[in-house]
Structure 1
Amino acid sequence: MSVMLKQAKEVKKNAPLAVLLASQEEASGYCQNEAEKQYVKKKLKDKIRLVSVNQYERMLFFIAPAEEQESHLKREYYRKKGFELANIIRSEQLEDLQLTTTSDVQPLLDFSEGLLLSSYSFDKYKSAVKEKDARVFEALTIIHPNLKKKALEEVSKLVDATFYARDLVNEPVVTLSAEQLSKSLRKAGKELGFKVEVFGKDKIRALKMGGLLAVNAGSVDPPAFIVLEYKPDKAVNKKPYVLVGKGVTYDTGGLSLKPSNSMMMMKSDMGGAAAVAGAFMATVKNKLPIHLVGLIPSTDNRPGGNAITPGDVISISDGSTVEVLNTDAEGRLILADALVYAKKYEPELVIDLATLTGAAAMALGKEGIVMMGTADEKTKQQLKNAGNETYERLVEFPLWDEYREYLNSDIADLKNIGGRMAGAITAAVFLKHFTAYPWIHMDIAGSAFLETPDFYKGKNGSGAGVRLLYQFLKTLAK
C-alpha cells in the first residue's frame, strides 16, 4: 500500500482535515466564521452527508453521522463515505489528510478502510503513469485518544492483502501462468514467513489428480498445485482450517468455447486463488493464532493440444469417474482434486472459493456471494456474520438430496454438469461428492471482477473474499 498511515495526538491547523461528526452541531467548532457555520448547517440539514469547506489555508470535510441502526450498515456507510472523500481528494490533488472524531474508534477505522481501498490502481502497464500520479494521496494521519496502533496496522495490512489479490486478478495470463502464480506465492511466503510447496506436473500425475491434468491437457503451459501452510506456535485450532481456491489463470471454455464477449474478463477465473492468497497474507501479517492451509490447483483452460472433449471420462484422485459433458465446467474438476487432497489434513473446516458459475452471478449479481455447505449451523452463521461485517454478504442455497440426481451419468460415477436448472447448486453438489469433512463452498463469480466501478471495491479485480475470510478467521481466533 503506497499511502502512509500515521497517528498524531492533536490536529494541525494548516493541513486538510476530515471530521466524522458525532452530531451535526459539532461542525460549528471547526468553522472560522458565521457564514461557514450557516453554510455547513444548511448542507447537513439538506441531508448532504459529506460537506466540503475551503478555508484557503486548508480544506475541511464534515461527514454526517450514520443514520443506520444495524452495526454492519453503519460500517458500510463509513467505508462508502471514505470512497467519496477519496474522489474529492483526487480531484483537489491533496497530498495528505488528517482524520478525527469525538465518537468511537470503529467509524474511524471503517472510514479509513474505505478511503485506503479506494486508493487502488493497476497501472503496471501504463508507461506514462508514475507511482506518485497513481496514488490518491501521500499520507493519512488519524487523531483519536483511544486508537490503538495495532488496530491501525491491522487495517493497513488487510488493505495490502486485498490489493495483492486485486493485482493477481488484474494480471494478464501472458504474465501470470500457473508457474508464475507459484513464483509470486513463493516470494510472498519467503517474505512473510509461511510455507509454500509447489507440485509440478510429475507430482500431480503421481497423485493421480485427473481433474487438474485433464483441464491442463489443452495448454502448452504446465499446471501447478500450490500448498500454503501457516502454523504458529500457539494456534487455537488443533486441526487446520483449509482454504481452497480455484486457480484457472485463463478460461477459454476449452473445446466448449465461450463466445468472444464472454472471454473478456476470463483472466479473473483465478479469483478464488487470489482470495485464498490474500486471506493467507492478511492472516500471517496480523499474526492470527490460526493453523491455516491453502490449496490452489492452477492451470489455464485452452482448446489446443490434447484438450479434453465433451464425452470424455476422467478419473479424479479419489478414483471417482466423471463424464465431462462441457469442458467449460472445468473449475469443479480441478477443485475436486484439491478437495480430495484436503482429506489428508483431517481438517476442522474446509472453505473453497471459486468464480464457478454464471448461475451464481445471475442470481445475486455483484451484491452477494452464493454459499452452500455441510458445516454446522454455528460455523455457517459465523461466516455469514463476517460477510455482513465486511459487506461481502452471503446467501445460503440448499443442497437438497434431489439435486444429486441431476448429475447422474450413464457411463460414469457422475457428470460434470447438471443441466440448465439450479446451475450454482449442482456445481456445489458435484464438489460435495469429494468432501468428507465440514465444508463450505463460496461462489464468487458475481463479485470477483467488476465491469463497472463499485465504490471502494473499484473496477476489475475487487479482491472479493479476502476481507470476509480474514474477519471470519479473526472470529475463530478469539
Structure 2
Amino acid sequence: MTSVLNSDKNKEVNIIDVDKDADLISIFTEGMILANYSFTKYYKEEEKKKPMLEILNIYSSVLKQENLSELEKITNAVYFARDLANEPFSGLNALQFSEKLKQLAKNSDLKIEVLDKKEIEENGMGGLLAVNKGSELPPTFNILEWKPENAVNSKPYILVGKGIVFDSGGYSIKPTKNSMDMMKFDMAGAAAVAGAMKAVSENRLPVHIIALIPATDNAVDAKSYVPGDVIKMHNGLFVEVLNTDAEGRLILADALSYAQKYNPELVMDLATLTGAAAYCIGIQASVVMGTAGNTVFDNLKKSGENVYERVVRFPFWDEYKEMLKSKIADIKNIGGSEAGAITAGKFLEYFTDYPWVHIDIAGPAIINKKNAYRTEGGSAYGVRLLYDFFKKMI
C-alpha cells in the first residue's frame, strides 16, 4: 500500500474508519508508518530518495488521541532503532554510538552513564576488553535508566543489548559476501534496546527499567585477541577463546554479570548472536531461551503474536553445557557444530544468577528484501515486542 502511494507521488493520505474499529484502524496506521521508513542519508540527492508520503490524516470516532500519540512515539522509536542499525561503521563507532545514546537520554528524560575504557578495566570486564583489543577506538559501556516515581516494580527490569558496531570476525575472519558486508547490523540488539527505552520513557510507562549496552567493534590488528587466548571475565570465570568470531557472547557475558549489582526482577538480552538461530527460524521469529519462569515466556510469546514480532522457545537442557567444557579453563566460548544457538545461550547462563531471557534476533533483525512493513536493512525487531511486554505488566 505505502509503496503504491509513494509511486503515485501522494504526499498526503486520508484514513477513514468506516467500520468504527479502533484496533483495526490503529494496526493499519501503524503498518503504513512502518512501511514508509527509508534510510536515505547517504544519497547525494537525498530529498529525491525520501518517501513522498508525509502526512496521514486519520478520521475515526472511536480511536482516541492518546492512542495515536502512543502509536506515534512507538513508531518514532522504531525509526530511531532502524537508523542506528542502518548506519555504517564509518558513521557509527562505539564512541559515536554513546553520543547518540546521550542525545536520546537528553530528549527522552532518561538517565545515562557511560563507562570509559579505564572504568571498564576497573570493573574487570575482560570479555569486552578482549574483543576491543584490535580496535583503534576504546570500548564504551552504556547504562540507561528509566525510573518513574510510580513504577509498579520494586526491583528493576534490565535489558542488555549487544553493541558490536562492526564485526570482522577478528582472526577467525568472516567471508565478505553475505557475511562481513552485513556486519554493521551486529549492533541491532543494542539498537532495539535503545529504541525500546525511547518508547517506554516517552510514553511514560510506570516501569523501572535499566539498559546495559556494551559497545565496540571487533577488528583485526597485531594487538587483537586470538584463538587460544584465555580471558578473565567480570564474574571471575576464565574463558578459553577458540573462535574470535564468537565475540558477542563475551561482551554480553560481562554485561549480564554486571547486571547482578542491581538485584533485578528480570533480565532480558537481545543480540544478533548466532547464525544458527537464523538458519533455524529465518526472518519470521527470534529464538528465545533462559531461566525465567514459564509465565514470563508465555507473556513474551503473547506480546510477540500481538505485534507480530514472534518468538520461538528453544530447549535449555543442562546437557548442552557439556559442549562448553574446556581442557584448560572454566569454559570455552564455542560449543560444537550442533545446537549453536542453544550452546551460545548456555554460555551466557554462566554469567547470570537471576530470572533471565535470552533473545537471539539474528534472523528477524536484518531484512535483505522488503517484507511488508519491514523495510530492507535493519528492522528494529524487538522495540515493539519489548514495549508490548512491559505495557502488559502495568
TM tier relative to shorter chain: over 0.9
Out of 396, 410, 435, the residue aligned to residue 327 of structure 2 is: 410
Q: Higher RCO, 1 or 2 (CA under 8 Å, sep at least 6)?
A: 2
Contact 1:86 1:136 survives alignment (8 Å): no
Following superposition, the deviation at residue 136 of structure 1 comes to 3.6
Aligned to 2:167: 251
Q: Which residue of 2 aligns with 1:127?
A: 44
Query: In 2, Cα distance between the equivalents of 1:136 and 1:446?
Result: 30
Cα offset, 1:191, TM superposition: 1.2
Q: Which is higher, the Rg of structure 1 or of structure 2? A: 1
Task: Give the equivalent residue in structure 2 for 1:193.
Answer: 109
Q: CA deviation at 1:91?
A: 1.6
- Contact 1:354-1:444 within 8 A present in 2 as well: yes
Task: Give the aligned partner of residue 280 of structure 1.
Answer: 197
- Cα offsets for 1:392-450 (capped at 9, x unmatched): 11000011010000000001000000011000000000001100000000000011111
> Are the aligned partners of 1:220 and 1:305 in contact in 2 as well (CA < 8 Å)?
no
Residue 116 (structure 1) aligned with residue 71 (structure 2): no
Question: What secondary structure, in the 3-state scheme, does the structure 1 residue paired with 2:14 have?
Answer: strand
Match of 1:155 in 2: 71
Q: Tell whether 2:186 aligns with 1:269.
A: yes
The question of 1:169 aligning with 2:85 is answered yes
Counterpart residue number, 2:127? 211
Deviates more, 1:87-96 or 1:343-352: 87-96
Q: What residue in structure 2 maps to residue 221 of structure 1?
A: 137
Structure 1 residues without counterparts, runs of 5 or longer: 1-84
| Mapped pair 1:234 → 2:146 | no
Distance 1:364 1:164 in 2: 26
Verify the 8 A CA contact 1:243 1:294 in the aligned structure 2.
Answer: yes
Q: After the TM superposition, which residues 69-468 of structure 1 pair with which residues of structure 2 at under 5 Å, given as runs? A: 85-101=1-17, 102-130=19-47, 134-261=50-177, 262-468=179-385
Match of 1:48 in 2: none
Quote the Cα distance in structure 2 between the aligned partners of 1:104 and 1:378.
30
Give the TM-score normalised by structure 1: 0.81
Q: Quick one: distance in 1 between partners of 2:367 and 2:21?
A: 33
Amino acid corresponding to residue 93 of structure 1 in structure 2: K
Matched pairs, number: 392
Per-residue deviation, 1:272: 0.5
Native 8 Å contact 1:451 1:460 kept in 2: yes
| CA offsets 1:206-233 (integer angstroms, 9 cap, x no match) | 0000000000001111100000001001
Query: What SS does structure 2 have at the residue aligned with 1:97?
Result: strand
Determine helix, strand or coil for the equivalent of 1:436. coil
**Identity fraction in percent:** 51
> Which moves more between the two structures, 429-438 or 143-152?
143-152
What secondary structure is seen at the aligned counterpart in 2 of 1:476? coil
The farther-off stretch of 136-145 and 433-442 is 136-145
**1:21-40 paired onto structure 2 within 5 Å:** none
Q: RMSD of the alignment, in Å?
A: 0.9
Once the two structures are superposed, residues 192-218 of structure 1 have per-residue CA deviations (whole angstroms, 9 ceiling, x without a partner) of: 110111000000000000000000001
- For structure 2, the residue ranges without an aligned partner over 5 or more in a row are none
> What TM-score does the superposition give when structure 2 sets the normalisation length?
0.98
CA distance in 1: counterparts of 2:234 and 2:11, whole angstroms: 55
- Deviation, structure 1 residue 133: 5.5
